[in-house]
Structure 1
Amino acid sequence: MSAGSFYYSLCFQSLFLFCITLILLVPFASFTATIITRNSVQNERDEVALTAFKSKIVYDPQGVLSSWNESRHFCEWEGIKCGRRHRRVTVVHLTSKGLSGSLSPYLGNLSFLRKLILYNNSIQGEIPREFGRLFRLKSLSLFNNSFIGEIPANLSHCSRLKILSIGHNKLVGKIPPEFVSLHKLKELGLHRNNLTGGIPHILGNLTSLEVISISYNAFGGNIPDSLGRLRKLWFLSLSANNLMGTVPPSLYNLSLLSTFSVSQNQLHGVLPSNLGLTLPNLQSFLISFNLFSGSIPISLSNASKVELVDMSVNYLSGKLSIDFGGMQHLVKVMVHTNNLGSGEIDEMKFINSLANCSNLGTLSIAANRIRGVLPNSIANLSTKLQYLELAENQLYGSISPVIGNLVSLNILDMFKNQFTGTIPIEIGKLQNLHVMSLGNNQLSGEIPVSLGNLSLLTKLNLQNNKLSGVIPSSLGNLKQLSLLNLSQNDLSGTIPEQIFNMPFLSISLNFAQNHLIGSIPSTIGSLKILSEFDVSDNNLSGKIPNEISLCSNLEYLYLEGNFFHGAIPQSLSPLRGIRQLDLSRNNLSGQIPKFLETLPLEKLNLSFNGFEGEVPMKGIFTNASAISIVGNDIKLCGGIAKLQLPKCLNNDPKKDKVSSLFKILIPTASVVLGLIMISSFIFCWLKKRGKEQVFESLLEKSLLKVSYEMLLKGTDGFSPTHFVGAGSIGSVYKGILDQNGAIIAVKVLNLQHQGASKSFMAECKALRNIRHRNIVKVITSCSSIDFQGNDFKAIVYEFMVNGSLENCSIGVKGTIGYAAPEYGLGNEISTNGDVYSFGILLLEIVTRKKPTDVMFKGDFNLHSFARMALLDRVMDIVDPMLINEEIVATNHRMRQALYDSREECLISMVRIGVACSVESPQDRMNISRVVHELQSVRKLLLQPTTGLNVQRRQ
């Protein structure tokens, strides 16, 4: 082939390849352009959805959404994550930010969204049905907000959903039956809502489920047997749901279960004998407050991973024969308030096996029928044991001195048994003891002086024993004591004055039914917060001390059955909280004082004394069934008809003459006095009116009238050089008034800010009437129109050259331990700093440990102390006096209900305190969230306990 032909052929082939390439590339380029255009549109769609979400948030205290603006791509906004390929939103994660508002339905357009996590906020409204379009969604976490309405059935379209956590809201209605299609669901969290309609059997079809947490609702009905098909389930919590019937046997065969909780329902039946064999992974077994009967299975001994066993408040019976030796992780054993006991003499033998449980912190077998002696092996229990509750059983014998080895004990409750012998002096070694109740036994001998060493003791109950001797003055060392009950013993001697030097004695001081002599020391007036004082049925004498009136919180005062004499002192009239007063069976005399009519008494007993004269007819005296005045001979008269007393007669002629004279003189004197008073009033009114007119005239003259133009000129057009600072609703400028050359501060309100107009009116109204040397003087105000036709409002103050408080706290701004860490670096005062201080204070209240305690050194402080306890031992650090209020319920079952409620509240308070006191200011819980959380705590604490009856002396 010639060179020309070859060249021609090569050109033709190149041209052919170019054409082919062009033909192929044109549609590809068109396709690529289409994809780019589509992605651009979808990206814009994501941005619109996020912007719509932001618009529905009305309160953002931490400013987390301030980054959501056009200055950066939406994938870089705080809390947002996008995919690498398509730059589409895949995660929205904004937890514990204090956000308030509602959720925009436009979030349903985030078609690539895999996780929507907004827990621990204050978001309200309904969960948008549009979320059903999020077909790629795997995790929806909205728990601990304020959502209302029903659970959207559309969520069943989210077929890839693995986690649905919407507990701790206000949702109502049923679990949608459409959820049967959520085959990939692993975690279902619906606890603490108002859901009803029973637990649907369709949950048994969701075989991927690992966690079911639906406690504290109102489902009702039975536990469906279909749940026994969930072979992957390891967490099951159905507590507090009004459930009835029995537990399906199939549930006891879920071998992966580690948490089994059905407490606070109405379930009945017996526990399977092979319980510990079929549930080998069990860690928490919670069936309290139900109707279970039968014996506790011995096979539970095989559950070697168990940490918490709570079978309290049921009808379990028989001998407690579990060998706890293999349960080395055991922390709590609570079987109180049952019918346990067989009558055998070795029923306390199980104590021996607990010696291997080195983590045991609570052992409660109270309110059963367990009989036997307290073995010496109790000394081998864990040194971590804090709660030992043996009350209301049939235990007998002496209390062994080895009990002094349990040095970590906070609560020692042996109330209402048959213990004999003396109180061992070794109890004085229990330096961490907060509550000791040995009442209603048969203990004898003297009260050990060593009890005065228990400096943390808040409650001491030794009532109804056979204790003798004097009350040891060393008890005055118990400065934390809030209750002291030594009643119904054989104590003698006088009441030591040291007893009245306990500043926290608030619940009760009870020495009734002993053989005490002498008078009530005047130092009783030191007990300013005492609620009940009972020294009835002793041999006390003297007069009722006037100092009792200083006990301003006193509600119950029982002095009956002594040898008190004299009149009822007038000084008792300030007792404005008194409800029950019993002064019967004494040697009191004189008239019944009129001030008793004004006190809020519910019961008054004055019987068997020497009172005389007229019985009052108002207040408590109008209710014949609430008072008792029998046994006062025949010297009383008058009163209401139901008392059937004779009328008060006046037979003294001299008194009749005096009475007649008074009938003449009193009206005459009244008229004269009235004329004098009226004349004085008119004179003073005229004089005052004249002064007020002069003052008002001067005030009108003193208030300058200023216009917008004058203020604009005086501040050089509100120039930045005159700018002083900014507040929450406006800005402050320094200026000069032309009229008098006065230097002023002008507060210009930002009327776009919500509530600014109201603030203007309120501030004007308040400052118009306030005069104080520490409050900046208001010169005048201005409500006008600016040169653009907009409303203008400003307040004009006298300018203070010293600046604001923020420019004055040199050094650390706050008390050591309570001040936020950033203040030590010179940071300005901030709301976050206040939140830190509040968190520390809250932790101090709950733990009773100051941030400056000697135990806190280096990086170990009160915050870290509480944070570490949050994992699983909050109640180990809580001040026991907060959870052991002396309450006697109709039975132990009711008492435990209140105890559990308080425990949950205290755990929540520690969590709030820790969240508020983290080191990083921006990570601290928002104060609005704090309020929301504390309101939830308060609601929980105030929940009524059915049948609870706090016992008071009637």
Structure 2
Amino acid sequence: MRLFYLYSFSAVMLLKAYGFTGETDRMALLDLKSQVSEDKQNVLSSWNNSFPLCNWKGVTCGLKHKRVTRLDLGGWQLGGVISPSIGNLSFLISLDLSDNSIGGTIPHQVGNLFRLEYLDMSHNFLGGGIPTSMSNCSRLLSLRLTSNSLGKSFPSELGSLARLEILNLGRNNLTGKLPPSLGNLTSLTRVIFSSNKIEGGVPNALARLTQLVSLRLGMNRFSGVFPPSIYNLSSLEILSIFHSGFSGSLKPDFGNLLPNLRRLHMGRNHFTGPIPTTLSNISNLENFGIVFNKMMGSVPSSFGKLQNLQYLALASNSLGSYSSGDLEFLKALANCTQLHTLLVNGNRLGGDFPTSITNLSTNLWKLDLGMNLISGTIPYDIGNLISLQKLMLDDNLLTGPLPSSIGKLSRLVVLNLTSNRLSGEIPSSIGNITRLGKLYFSNNSFEGTIPPSLGQCRFMLYLRIGSNKLNGTIPQEIMQIPSLVHLDLSDNSLTGSLPKYIKPLDGLCILSVAHNKLSGQLPQVLGNFLSLENLYLQGNFFDGDIPNIKGLMGAKRLDFSNNNLSGSIPGYFANFSSLEYLNLSINNFQGIVPTEGNLKNATVLLVFGNKDLCGGIKELKLKPCIMQVQAMDTGHSSLVKKFSVGVSIGIVFLLIAYISLCCLRKRKRNQQQTNHPTSSSALEICHEKISYAYLQKATDGFSSSNIIGSGSFGTVFKALLPTENKVVAVKVLNLQRRGAMKSFVTECESLKDIRHRNLVKLLTACSSTDFQGNDFRALVYELMPNGSLDMWLHPEEVEEIRRPSRALTLFERLNIAVDVISVLEYLHVYCHEPIAHCDLKPSNVLLDKDLTGHVSDFGIARMLMKLDQGSLFNQLSSVGIRGTIGYAAPEYGMGGQPSIYGDMYSFGVLLLEMFTGKRPTDELFGGNVTLNSYIKLAFPERVLDIADNSILNSSLRVGFPLGECLTLVLEVGLKCCEETPKNRLATSEARKDLILIRERFFKH
């Protein structure tokens, strides 16, 4: 016993001699804390000298020496970098830094942790290479570095980690080849190298890893045949080599060599030959995918022996021989009662559609037999597959009617029967499938009328029933499906007119009723489909003028050809900046063909077959326009001459009087501007004026208690206008600030003619002097009682008295995003002269009592169509970067001119901030790490990890696909703030996408 104490004492003294004590651990952890981003250091608030080291949050100490043995900081959303002092925690057994936002590199001092058994730094933003010093951690059992940005090759030195059981390096940027030393890690049970850039072949030494249960090498750049070494790994349960570059054929005894597989994913390679029938010997096989290869032969019926089979994907190969026996395997698959996905589309399968298909598992939710040569009829009992969500039978040779039992498939979201030979009427029971989002029936022989019951499918996005034999009128019900994006009724025999009394569909992008027998005048409501890009009306009997559709400013392709339309060609087509194709041929149009805008391009405009058209560009080869004056009799001619002379003299006198009046007014204005050298033109833009004394009283002497915000050029006060008993917001400009006067002028100029429900309304302005004779300028706006969006996104930065009582929900944020993009679309597309806001950010988005978004602060806006007019260019120009750091487009920092592309960049950043809760200037970001790159690295698998916590914590209905919704929204944001301006999402596109997302997830 004495000897034991002696040794213990000696060990303690030795540790102290080398400086490794509990104090060393304390200092190491405090240094680690110092490298954490400041906004997250509060998470480590217990890490201070007031608490014993072993009571610090996330810290576990050994019972004997009170040294730190475990450090569990996983999922704490910490930013910053890893301090090299981590290497001083010499008793550390387990280190978990996963699921944070840590950047920088892995310090080589980690190699000092020779007792370390578990190391997890996955799901961060770590770069650089994997330190070779990790080979010193000889006790390591688990190494997880997945989902970072680690580069370079896998260090061969790590082959000395003989005890390693788990090696997860997936989702990085590893390059080079796998080293043969990997075969030394004979204790490995799980290896993940997927989603890297690893090249070459798999080393034969891998065959020594006989305890391997999971091997994932997918999404790399390997080459050569299926790795022979893998055939020796009989213990494998999971093998994924998806999209890895392998080729060649598979061994016939594949299933005998790897009998324990549960999941086998081999898609998107270059494999050839038949599917080994021995796969049926893998009794526990659940998932098998070999899509997009060059497999040949038949689909083995022996798959029916796999009682646990859930997922079978054989699509896009060359399976089958276009003969009657190709579908025998379907009968056998009826034994696979757990099967939920069956994909055999894009092969060479032939023969009649077997009725045995209806005996497949009632768990089946996806069935795709499309793009084969399957014939016969669809069995009546197809309705037995009650769990189906996606049924694809397109591009086959199916005949006969569509059974009415299809209406029993109430969970269907996608139904695709395109390009078959189906006939009979479209069953009205389809209206029972209220979840249906995509219905593709084009290129068949369906007849009869379009069932109005389709209008019950309120989530329908794509309805394509063109190229059939349908007749009757277009049901008004389907023209009122609110979610429609694409409606194709073309190439049928529909009669009547287009429905006139329909609600404009916000998201409709494509409408085609071409080549029918429709007649009558085109309805005026077409001009209200603001998202419409493609409109195909050709080959009907429409008559009359083209209605006012100038609202379709985002239109790309318009076809009015082969009708009986008349009147003149509307000149506003020249203002359709996105127009690629306008076909007005074979009608009865008259008059002059416009030559402005896109109509100068002969590849855009087609007008042949209109005998009464003239003029236009020379490529159209139309007759010139000659203005002819009809001859009149002598008496009438004399009277006209006398009348003309009288009118001419009157006009001359009026013109002289007008010029004199203008000169007089100009002289007076010059005199006034000499005495008051401020811009009165700005005031003329605003409506009524208001005095300084009136505002001074309304704000209680501009009391600080009435301050509700401040900006670059002034302070905003809440004011009560006594005569109107109305509460407003008064922005008082600080004229000592350079550019303030210009901001005043610009805001008035920008807002003088624009009106939109999501713009903050400018009520009036004040241009006067205060009681000391100093110049005074103020703008009076409608008050937004819920403050700015910035307050709601970052309530922790707001004083408690003004702090919102709760967080914005996902739905409210999406609504506000639509409000903002609607304003931008109005400014960019529908204003007479496009306007760039130039300073879009959360503090410039104000919220009314209903949390509707209103865009404000046009102090540095730019009217784009007037840039070539010197006066206004100079009037609205400002020096330096336009906008706010973090939100301003990168080209502005390099001297680029203001543009709608710059606004879209700012909107993209705004959108990302709204749903992640992180400012673009967050301390987390710096160097190469930006808000954009931060989201891209986590996108889409970790979208919930980067979402604003207040969204995750808000009460959403059970089963709501939060991750899917956030992914789509953030994708729009990323597309808006692409680095290159021309690559950014167009304003109308962004608005359309956000509306579709809202309709998809929140429309009831």
TM range (shorter): 0.7 to 0.9
Task: Please name the residue that 1:726 is paired with.
Answer: none
* Cα contact 1:96–1:120 (8 A) shared by 2: yes
Q: What SS does the aligned partner of 2:295 have?
A: strand
Q: Secondary structure at the match of 1:597?
A: helix
2:562 counterpart (585, 588, 613): 585
Answer with 686-695 or 602-611: which moved more.
686-695
Corresponding residue of 2:776: none
Alignment match, 1:649: 626
Aligned residue number for residue 453 of structure 2: 474
Distance in 2 between the 1:106 and 1:660 partners?
Answer: 98
State the distance in 2 between where 1:410 and 1:83 align: 54
Q: Is the 8 A contact 2:98 2:120 kept in 1?
A: yes
Q: How does 1:218-367 map to 2 (within 5 A)?
A: 218-367=197-346
Separation in 2, partners of 1:699, 1:330:
76
Deviation string, structure 1 residues 450-471 (Cα, Å, up to 9, x no partner): 1111111111111111111111
Equivalent residue letter for 2:557: Q
Single out whichever of 306-315 and 371-380 deviates more from structure 2.
371-380
**Alpha carbons 1:60, 1:98 under 8 Å: kept:** no
Aligned-partner residue type, residue 77 of structure 1? W
- Per-residue CA deviations over 1:351-384 (Å, capped at 9, x if unaligned) read 1222222221111111111112222222221111
Q: Secondary structure at the match of 1:324?
A: helix
State the AA in 2 paired with 1:651.
Answer: Q
- The equivalences for 1:534-933 within 5 A come to 534-569=512-547, 571-599=548-576, 600-633=578-611, 635-652=612-629, 695=691, 765=713, 767-768=715-716, 834=807, 837-838=809-810, 908=942
Letter in 2 for 1:196: T
Please list the CA deviations of residues 415-440 of structure 1 after superposition, one character each: whole Å capped at 9, or x if unmatched: 11000110000001111111111111
Report the Cα distance in structure 1 between the residues aligned to 2:203 and 2:361, rounded to whole angstroms. Answer: 40
Counterpart Cα distance in 1 of 2:444 and 2:532 = 27
Per-residue CA distance 1:580-614 (angstroms, 9 max, x = gap): 00000011112111011001211111111111221
State the Cα deviation string for residues 204-223 of structure 1 (Å, max 9, x = none). Answer: 22222221111111122222
Measured against aligned partners, the alpha-carbon deviations of 1:274-296 in whole angstroms (never above 9, x if no partner) come to 11111111111111111111111
Q: 1:574, 1:780 → 2: CA distance?
A: 37
Determine the structure 1 residue equivalent to 2:60: 81
Structure 2 match to 1:491: 470
1:435-450 to structure 2, matched below 5 A, reads 435-450=414-429
* Corresponding pairs, count: 764
- Alpha-carbon distance in structure 1 between the residues aligned to 2:8 and 2:210: 53
Which sections of structure 1, spanning at least 5 residues, go unmatched?
A: 1-20, 707-741, 748-759, 782-803, 807-813, 815-827, 846-901, 922-926, 945-954
- Offset of residue 556 of structure 1: 0.5
| SS in structure 2 at match of 1:496 | coil
**Change in CA separation of 1:386 and 1:920 when aligned onto 2, cut-off 3 Å:** closer
TM-score normalised over the length of structure 2: 0.69
Q: Is the 8 A contact 2:199 2:223 kept in 1?
A: yes
Larger Rg: 1
Offset at 1:627?
1.9
Cα 1:298/1:704, change in 2 over 3 Å: same
Give the match for residue 142 of structure 2.
163
Question: Would the alpha carbon gap of residues 920 and 672 (structure 1) be closer, same or farther in structure 2, given more than 3 Å must change?
Answer: closer
Residue 916 of structure 1, CA deviation = 7.0
- Amino acid of the structure 2 residue aligned with 1:134: L
Q: Any conservation in 1 of the 2:304–2:329 contact (CA below 8 Å)?
A: no
Describe the shift of the 1:771–1:746 C-alpha distance in structure 2 as closer, same or farther (beyond 3 A). Answer: closer
Provide the C-alpha distance between the structure 1 equivalents of 2:331 and 2:813, rounded to a whole number of angstroms: 42
How do residues 189-208 of structure 1 correspond to structure 2 at under 5 angstroms? 189-208=168-187
Distance in 1 of aligned mates of 2:369 and 2:499: 36
Contact 1:137–1:161 (CA<8 Å) still a contact in 2?
yes
Alignment of 1:15-94 (within 5 A): 34=13, 42-61=21-40, 63-94=42-73
In structure 1, C-alpha distance between the alignment counterparts of 2:594 and 2:732, rounded to whole Å: 58
What does the per-residue CA deviation read over 1:369-428, in whole Å, with 9 as the maximum and x for residues that have no partner?
A: 111222222222111111111111111101001110011110111111000110000001
Contact 1:839 1:912 in 2 (8 A): no
Partner of 1:873: none
Distance, in Å, in 2 between the alignment partners of 1:64 and 1:409 is 47
1:397: which partner in 2?
376
1:517 aligns with 2:495: yes
Deviation at 1:266, TM superposition (A): 2.2
Quickly say closer, same or farther: Cα 1:833–1:465, change in 2 above 3 A.
Answer: same
Q: Which residue of 2 aligns with 1:889?
A: none
Residue 107 to residue 431, structure 1, CA distance change in 2 (3 Å): same
Shift of 1:574: 0.8
Specify the SS of the correspondent of 1:48: helix
Cα deviation for residue 670 of structure 1 reads: 6.7
Aligned equivalents of 1:446, 1:72: Cα separation in 2 = 78
| Aligned mates of 2:160, 2:646 — CA distance in 1 | 99
Aligned-residue sequence identity (percent) comes to: 36
Give the partner amino acid of 2:715. L
What per-residue deviation string (whole Å, max 9, x for no partner) do you get for residues 291-349 of structure 1?
11111111111111111111111111111014223322222111111111123312111
Instruction: Go from structure 1 to structure 2 and tell me whether the alpha carbon gap of 1:678 and 1:488 turns closer, same or farther (over 3 Å shift).
Output: farther
* CA 675–494 in structure 1, closer or farther in 2 if over 3 Å, else same: farther
The 3-state SS of whatever aligns with 2:398 is: strand
**What is the TM-score with the length of structure 1 in the denominator?**
0.72
Kindly state the Cα deviation for residue 694 of structure 1 after the two structures are TM-superposed: 9.8
Q: Secondary structure at the match of 2:326?
A: coil
Question: Once the 2 structures are TM-superposed, how far is the Cα of residue 248 of structure 1 from its aligned partner?
Answer: 1.6
Q: Is the 8 A contact 2:443 2:467 kept in 1?
A: yes
Paired residue type of 1:46:
D
CA distance in 2, matches of 1:548, 1:196: 55
The farther-off stretch of 933-942 and 268-277 is 933-942
Q: Secondary structure at the match of 1:113?
A: coil
CA shift, 1:224, in A, is 2.4
Structure 1 contact 525–548 (Cα < 8 Å) conserved: no
Q: How many Å separate the matches in 1 of 2:237 and 2:803?
A: 45
CA distance in 1, matches of 2:305, 2:811: 41
Between the aligned partners of 1:26 and 1:372, the Cα distance in structure 2 is: 85
8 Å Cα contact 1:601-1:620 kept in structure 2? yes
Q: Give the SS at the match of 1:194.
A: coil
Equivalents in 1 of 2:732, 2:21: separation in Å?
58
Question: What is the rounded CA distance, in whole Å, between the counterparts of 1:223 and 1:905 in structure 2?
Answer: 29
Q: Distance in 2 between matches of 1:139 and 1:483?
A: 51
Aligned partner of residue 224 in structure 2, secondary structure: strand
* Cα distance, 1:239 vs structure 2: 1.1
Query: Match of 1:15?
Result: none
| TM superposition shift of 1:59 | 3.8
Shift, 1:250, TM fit: 2.1
Distance between the aligned counterparts of 2:968 and 2:398, measured in 1? 45
Deviation at residue 543 of structure 1 after TM alignment? 0.8
CA contact (8 A) 1:239 1:263 kept: yes
Letter in 2 for 1:303: I
Shift of 1:546: 0.6
Using the alignment, how far apart are the partners of 1:268 and 1:669 within structure 2? 88
CA shift for structure 1 position 523: 3.1
Distance across 1 between alignment mates of 2:706 and 2:227:
75
Pair 1:318–1:489, CA change in 2 (3 A): same
